């Protein structure tokens, strides 16, 4: 009897529609908040490969701050340093931004990723996302010998290795390669002098044996940077700053 009353009662049907509208409204509000947070503040990604070994491994889950946050903090820096990233920072590079899809497609892709817990993307962004370490900053003059960069900072009269200049310690994997390798071979350990332009960064993988980075792309413009790694929350045994 009670079920029949709910089925035929106008008041019950009205109450049910009212609850459904509230549920849909809260889902919409949560979706908007989620997209605002992931677009302008924070996002979470899973590392799919071992190109950042030995510091990071496939399966590591990290929290990233967006470029918007990094740029804002740089503008608020009272020391006069306006560059949003520091040497040694790990950045999320989105190469698909070189040909950004139209706004409706980005909104639809965001909705699909939201309702599938980031497992499905219409744009296959995962094929264009790369996790790399900042080695060179805008204005740097850099060369590479045996997979290690030497850097002359803008306005400086001497060069230092990347490890001497980095504000965060890291240990890259330096491969053993045949003596016949030279600068013409992809992922070569030697590189002639280049000077980074304004808003350009030189990024490398920690595993420098066989992976795409600035050795093949060239310097990365800042508009391709979508985030900076802040915290590794999985696995629990290696939780902390990456």
Report the pLDDT value the prediction gives residue 80, as an integer from 0 to 100. 47
Count of C-beta atoms within a 10 Å radius of residue 195: 14
Report the pLDDT value the prediction gives residue 78, as an integer from 0 to 100. 43
Report the pLDDT value the prediction gives residue 206, as an integer from 0 to 100. 94
CA-nearest of 223, 83, 93, 235 to 167 is 83
What is the pTM (predicted TM-score) of this model? 0.74
Report the pLDDT value the prediction gives residue 95, as an integer from 0 to 100. 85
Alpha helices in 9-88 (DSSP H): 10-40, 67-76
Report the pLDDT value the prediction gives residue 29, as an integer from 0 to 100. 83
Count of C-beta atoms within a 10 Å radius of residue 120: 11
Element housing 6 (H / E): helix 2-8
Q: What is the DSSP string of 93-137?
A: EEGGGGGPPPHHHHHHHHHHHHHTTTS--TT-GGGGEEEEEEEE-
Instruction: Kindly give the parts of the chain with pLDDT less than 50.
Output: 1-2, 5, 76, 78-80
Yes or no: say if 95 and 73 are a contact pair by the CB < 8 Å rule.
no
Report the pLDDT value the prediction gives residue 141, as an integer from 0 to 100. 97
Please tell me the distance from the alpha carbon of residue 145 to that of residue 42, in angstroms, as a whole number.
36
Please tell me the distance from the alpha carbon of residue 67 to that of residue 74, in angstroms, as a whole number.
10
Report the pLDDT value the prediction gives residue 133, as an integer from 0 to 100. 96
Is the bond preceding residue 12 a cis peptide, omega within 30 degrees? no
Report the pLDDT value the prediction gives residue 104, as an integer from 0 to 100. 66
């Amino acid at each position: 009897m009670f079920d029949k009353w709910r089925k035929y009662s106008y008041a019950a049907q009205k109450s049910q529609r009212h609850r459904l509208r509230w549920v849909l409204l809260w889902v919409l509000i949560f979706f908007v908040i989620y997209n605002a947070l992931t677009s302008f503040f924070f996002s979470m990604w899973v590392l799919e490969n071992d190109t950042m070994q030995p510091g990071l491994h496939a399966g590591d889950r990290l929290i990233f701050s967006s470029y918007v946050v990094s740029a804002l903090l740089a503008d608020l820096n009272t020391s006069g340093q306006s560059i949003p990233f520091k040497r040694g920072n790990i950045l999320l590079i989105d190469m698909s931004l070189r040909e950004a899809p139209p706004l409706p497609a980005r909104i639809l892709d965001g909705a699909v990723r939201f309702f599938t817990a980031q497992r499905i993307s219409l744009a296959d962004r995962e094929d264009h996302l790369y996790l790399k370490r900042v080695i060179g900053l805008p204005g740097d003059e850099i060369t590479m010998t045996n997979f290690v960069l030497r850097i002359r900072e803008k306005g400086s009269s001497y060069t230092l290795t990347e490890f001497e200049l980095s504000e965060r310690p890291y240990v890259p994997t330096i491969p053993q390669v045949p003596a016949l390798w030279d600068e013409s071979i992809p992922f070569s350990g030697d590189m002639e002098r280049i000077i980074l332009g304004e808003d350009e960064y030189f990024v490398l993988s920690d595993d420098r044996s066989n992976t795409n980075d600035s050795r093949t792309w060239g310097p990365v413009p800042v508009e391709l940077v979508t985030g900076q790694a802040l915290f590794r929350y999985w696995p629990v045994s290696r939780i902390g700053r990456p």
